[in-house]
Structure 1
Amino acid sequence: MTIAPHNPKADLKQYDRDFYAWTQEMVVALRSGNWAALDIENLVEEVEALGRRERQELENRLAVLLGHLLKWDYQPEQRSNSWRATVREQRRRIDKLLRENLSLKP
């Protein structure tokens, strides 16, 4: 009698083995209303992570904007078109983020 070698991947949930395939399975289950097939624990985790990413993106863009505005004020001899472009681009992207995520506004 031979014993099959243990395959650790067989113990992993689809979420851990193949994240993309897991997302597609969850989409099918959600669209069809197959609530029993939903991986609630990991869905909750992923939805929370999506919200955190939006907030982190806003914080990062604000930090870049603030840094460039401070440099603009305190290093006038080094002002450049690239600084101006960065300020403009960060403002544009912050505005878009806030329009798409109204609850991120203070």
Structure 2
Amino acid sequence: MTTKLYDTDFYAWTLEQSRLLRSGELKGLDIENLVEEIESLGRQERRELENRLGVLIGHLLKWVYQPEKRSKSWQVTIRVQRQQIQRLINQNPSLKSYLLEAVSIGYELGLELFFRETQLLDVDLPDVCPFTVEQVFDAAFPENFISKYQ
């Protein structure tokens, strides 16, 4: 019954699963779909980290490669993304072990943002993220590293 409910009324299914869990009626649980949903929640947290890193890294790239167009808006975006990523990691500390891979994925997403928003198709950017994890999260970066990239 609960598997069918999962396919026809997801909200009702979640309410039923919650009720069964709270009451200890474990035999009535839709284990297969519960496992799938819990795994999906974990993937969502990883995707949020990757997406936020993509925005952050994209703006760091714009800051470094378009110094003449730097704006307060870019600074704010960089600061806000760092804050939101830190909040996400504080709420999900195990994501720290995923940071290196997430920065790599975030770099790919950041490249898309960079090329879409700058139209600098002739810029030869490296295949891997030119920023370390520490630089990505350093509040003083990129200002204190600008000369390296100019």
Give TM-score, length-normalised by structure 1: 0.87
1:89 to 70, 80, 89: 80
Higher relative contact order (CA 8 A, sep 6+): 2
Instruction: Please name the residue that 1:30 is paired with.
Output: 21
1:44-63 equivalences in 2 (<5 Å): 44-63=35-54
Unaligned runs of 5+ in 2: 98-150
Instruction: Please name the residue that 2:126 is paired with.
Output: none
Larger Rg, first or second structure (1 or 2)? 1
For 1:13, the aligned partner's letter is K
- What is the deviation of 1:78? 0.8
Instruction: Please name the residue that 2:93 is paired with.
Output: 102
Any idea what the Cα deviations from partners look like across 1:15-40, whole Å, max 9, x if unmatched? Answer: 01000000000000000000011000
- What is the deviation of 1:47? 0.2
For 1:67, the aligned partner's letter is G
RMSD: 1.0
Instruction: Please name the residue that 1:72 is paired with.
Output: 63
Any idea what the Cα deviations from partners look like across 1:47-90, whole Å, max 9, x if unmatched? Answer: 00000000010011011101100110110111111111110110
Give TM-score, length-normalised by structure 2: 0.62
Unaligned runs of 5+ in 1: 1-11
Q: Which deviates the most, 71-80 or 42-51?
A: 71-80
Q: What is the identity percentage for the equivalent residue pairs of Structure 1 and Structure 2?
A: 64
Misfit runs of 4+, over 2 Å: none
How many angstroms apart in 2 are the aligned matches of 1:22 and 1:86? 39
How many angstroms apart in 2 are the aligned matches of 1:60 and 1:101? 16
Report the number of matched residues. Answer: 95
How many angstroms apart in 2 are the aligned matches of 1:87 and 1:29? 44
How many angstroms apart in 2 are the aligned matches of 1:87 and 1:18? 40
How many angstroms apart in 2 are the aligned matches of 1:83 and 1:99? 24
